[in-house]
Amino acid sequence: MNDSNRNSPDQENRIHTNFEKEMSYGDYLQLQAILSSQTRVSNHHDEMLFIIIHQVSELWMKLILHELQAAMDSIRQNDLEPAFKMLSRVSRIQQQLIQSWDVLSTLTPAEYVQFRDKLGHSSGFQSYQNRLIEFAMGAKNADVLSVYKHKPELSQKLKQALNEPSIYDLAIQAMAKRGLAIDQPSLQRDWSENYQPQKSVEAAWLEVYRDVNQYWDLYELAEKLVDIASNHQQWRFNHMNTVERIIGHKPGTGGSSGVPYLKRVLDQRFFPELWSLRTQL
């Protein structure tokens, strides 16, 4: 069929227009609910930008959690290859989150101050999905659960995630299953504790990197983890930089010190042995 036939008026007449009894695009995506959820607490024009940036970020975080959990299930079952696609997708999503700070940075200090007081104590610090992502990546901190005590169901969800192994713990277990020497404390530790570097784990990863052909799947998993760790740090840096650009060194609306707190968080690195081994190779 040539192009003229493919784009003929007869073809366009087949477009479906009757959705009284069928699901439409808007129905499938529940657009009415989504697009009616931007409720400003002020009359300032730029508050719409502020709301949408954060709502879209939460949707991306929801997808990150969806992919991370599936990747963790795959690793848990000692089937590593499916996890590579999922973790690659997480990396691409993280790029969207990183770039979102560029859009938010178009909000100037003079504009933000017009509605900031209307936000009360609500803050991105309270994003439970961001906490779940950090827990899944091994950054555990039981103290943050106090922020969610007013929501028992949510508090329980976070507590459960706190007490489960992270994706890095599962990667370490996968190395042990392959016969690499991992000390028992690394395999049977308190999962609610923030991960601390272990010499046996570094030695095992070094063996993987020194014999890529034998341990190709573990090597590929390690590099995927480095990708998401690096992107998360980039997201944190852009967050800090955007906050400093808009509010300077004012305290955060949630009560944190603001930029100084965000700078301290930058020093927290995921999957430490995957970084230290680079010096040892």
Binding-site sequence positions for heme: 239
What is the rounded distance in angstroms from the CA atom of residue 140 to the CA atom of residue 194? Answer: 4
Q: Which of 167, 121, 122 is nearest to 140 (CA)?
A: 167
3 state DSSP class of 154: helix
Give Rg (Cα) of the chain.
23
Distance of CA 88 to the CA centre of its chain: 13
- CA distances (Å), 185 to each of 64, 138, 195, 199, in order? 29, 16, 11, 11
For residue 190, the Cα-to-chain-centroid distance in whole angstroms is 23
Q: Which ranges of 1-118 would DSSP assign to H, the alpha helix?
A: 3-6, 9-12, 25-29, 31-35, 47-76, 81-104, 109-112
Question: Residues marked as binding for substrate?
Answer: 50-54, 112, 116, 253
- Binding site membership: which residues? 50-54, 112, 116, 239, 253
- C-alpha torsion angle, residues 256, 103, 28, 30 (rounded to 10): 50
Other beta carbons within 10 Å of 67: 21
